[in-house]
A and B are shown apart, each in its own frame.
Chain A
């Protein structure tokens, strides 16, 4: 195993709202190795995006606040950097692709101007150099007649094409890490496949590490090497991708996988669904956040919040119950 590229330790992010303080990220720790693809799954509002935005300090402050933790990137804490220093990390060394390509491009600037922007900001290219490079980038992400399309405005591009533009912008300065925040959620299925194929190809060509946030477990299976499952602002399971699909341990992960339709299913039956709603955490929970929805729930779940414990090599779960035997873990 190579050394960690990104090491997130005990990250905590809160949002102050009129209803109270929302604990969006509660002591999340994980690491990312060079060239690795990490999947991050969980339902809406579980803290996936908040975690990623916190890493780049893109959380709107106020109402948001990164309350505690460290984000070590090449040994340097991103959370302690000055605004100017972190600005040189954003887009240059760590870039992000967002969920909705329809709204993530500035409608009044041409595509060319927008792809040139990171190049001029971080690489110090002149306008004409940046323009030439922008055309290369656009053809790299599979946009035909890239040279001509530099002068087009975002409304002249389809959703899939815009997401390609976003990826081109994110990769413009050859970052070490690409954070993809549900980049395919807003796209239809055929385009999703094209975009994931594109990212796979670019990952193999450029060798950057990827954090891929999604609630589509199918995409993670085909793309990631390791998966983090988040619930209520906590990481509740961490595992290599094949292990997770073969042996899910946390009741929530089991529920998530159970709710997927499978092509190899023999008999027809109703899809499984997890009852209830994910919690909005107005205070840091002392119990397991999943307890109200869990069918394995035991007395201890209501009293203590479980920590991540190893159950197999590289496989860690935060649960008081051994879901394979149904017995409490000591």
Chain B
């Protein structure tokens, strides 16, 4: 009966209830869509980081990452790679030699990281071939070819077919230099990465670097990110002599972005809900004021204070919940459409790329985030009802009925 009274009370002042329901609809739609937008953005950043930079897991010599000295390579790298590849959760494992070095052209030089890769396996992990915008990917018939980025080619005033010199230290600490011919120009959605990385075929550099058929990094792509921890644990027990890190450990700044991004959305959602709460409190106080006499009568007849409290609480929660289907509907429709089409920020593509983001965002929302929002909305309704309910509870029947 309390629920029935509360629900019907919402219809007593249609205009006022309509305004609150409208506010809940707008607030919720904006909040959910914003959360989906940020979620899509963060998800994309993580996906790109895994794809371009870290993979799901990486295997190194325990000392390699201290100063990226190539003398710390993986003993029995190829055998380890084979064993890793045989794990059912592993989609692809690729061996790499990572060498800090310099790239030089007649017009300048630049500090870079030389990524010596297994072309086919690397492509299976990072999709490097698709990122080649001009020229071609590695060709087994062409030795000493190099892929460099659009940014770097402009900076060094180079072009496809031109030669460039890579200088680096080999595993014994000797300075080595080698000329490579530019066969392809790549572009990822991460400008800093593009400026600092070049790719060569591992077979063109391993002997020169002093690592004959060995690697100092094995990158691993999994079929599903959900098996990350399981595979990491399994590999740690298989290769106790190696350091095996997941993407969150390899790029803690991205893990931080995920957590900060979620917190920011929650803060934003909190601001929306706070504004909504004031509207709800105001509306319910007006309702209590208008119904002072009626509440006095209910108290007089024998409705105890707990029931009065429940009635106000139900009314507030129902008022808020009445707006939820519209808000959720609008948000889900908007997310559904934009998830297909994407939201393009063409004007800001350079800015986005400088932070490692694509300029097209595909909003997405998972069940967990949706439930968080719903819990926050209901919590807002409950908290907003407390003050009006308290005011109602303070009424004395004899005084209230004289109003």
Chains A and B belong together in one complex: no
Residue positions of B touching A, CB distance < 8 A: none
Contacts from A to B (Cβ < 8 Å): none
